[in-house]
Structure 1
Amino acid sequence: MIIRRLQWAGAQIEAKNVRILIDPIYNSYNKEFFGKPLQKFSSLEDILYPDAVLITHLHSDHFDPDYIIQSFGLETRLFVPKGTEEEIMIKYGFKNVKGFLVDESFIIGDLTITASYSVDGLGDEQVSWIINDKEKTIIHCGDTLWHGYWWGISKKYGPFEAALLPINGAIVCDSDMINSYQPICLNPEQAIAAARILESKLLIPIHFGSFHNPPIYNETEDIKSRLLLTAEQEKVTIKLLNHGEAIEL
Structure 2
Amino acid sequence: MNIQRLPWAGIRISSGDFTIAIDPVSRIPEKFGKSREPMYPLEYFGKVDAVLVTHLHDDHFDPAAITATYGASVPVYVPAEVADTARAAGLTNVIGADVGTTYKLGNGVTATAAPSVDGVGDVQIAWIVEGADHRVIHCGDTLWHGYWWKIAQTYGPFHAAFLPVNGAVLELPGRMPSAQPICLTPEQAVSAAAILGAEMLIPIHYGAVHYPPIYTETPDIVPRLTAAAEGKVKLSLLKPTETLAL
Common fold by TM > 0.5: yes
1:5-61 Cα distance to aligned partner (Å, 9 max, x none): 00000000000321000001112x4212x1100001111323332110000000011
For residues 21 and 57 of structure 2, the distance between their equivalents in structure 1, rounded to whole angstroms, comes to: 16
Equivalent in the alignment of 2:130: 132
Structure 2: tracts of 5 or more residues without a match:
none
Q: Which of 190, 198, 203 is 1:205 aligned to? A: 203
CA–CA distance in structure 1, aligned partners of residues 157 and 96 of structure 2: 26
Equivalence for 1:47: 45
1:38 aligns with 2:36: yes
The answer to whether the 8 Å contact 1:195/1:236 transfers is yes
> Residues 79 and 97 of structure 1 are in contact (CA less than 8 Å); yes or no, is this contact kept in structure 2?
yes
Work out whether residues 205 and 239 of structure 1, in 8 Å CA contact, stay in contact via their aligned partners in 2. yes
Q: Please report how far the alpha carbon of residue 74 of structure 1 lies from its aligned counterpart in structure 2 after TM superposition.
A: 1.1
1:26 is aligned to 26
Look up the SS of the partner of 2:177 in the other structure: coil
Percent pairwise identity: 47
CA RMSD of aligned residues (A): 1.0
SS in 1 for 2:229: helix
Partner residue, 1:62: 60
Residue-by-residue CA offset, 1:131-186 (whole Å, 9 max, x unaligned): 11151110000000000000000001111000000000000011221111100000
What secondary structure does 1:196 align onto? helix
CA contact (8 A) 2:166 2:217 kept: yes
1:94 aligns with 2:112: no
Contact 1:16 1:110 in 2 (8 A): no
Normalised by the size of structure 1, how large is the TM-score? 0.96
2:7 is aligned with 1:7: yes
Give me the whole-angstrom Cα distance separating, in 2, the residues matched to 1:237 and 1:158.
Answer: 16
User: Is the partner of 1:225 in helix, strand or coil?
Assistant: helix
2:101 corresponds to: 104
Q: d(CA) in 2 for partners of 1:51 and 1:42?
A: 19
The 1-side partners of 2:221 and 2:188 are apart by: 12
What secondary structure is seen at the aligned counterpart in 2 of 1:203? strand
Is 1:242 matched with 2:227? no
Which 4+ runs in 1 deviate beyond 6 A? none
Alignment coverage as a number of residue pairs: 245
Q: Deviations over 1:110-137 (max 9, x none)?
A: 0111000110001111000001115111
For the residue of structure 2 that corresponds to 1:46, the secondary structure is helix
Q: Following the alignment from structure 1 to structure 2, what is the Cα–Cα distance between the partners of residues 125 and 31?
A: 22
State which of 49, 54, 70 in structure 2 corresponds to 1:72: 70
> SS of the counterpart of 1:84?
helix
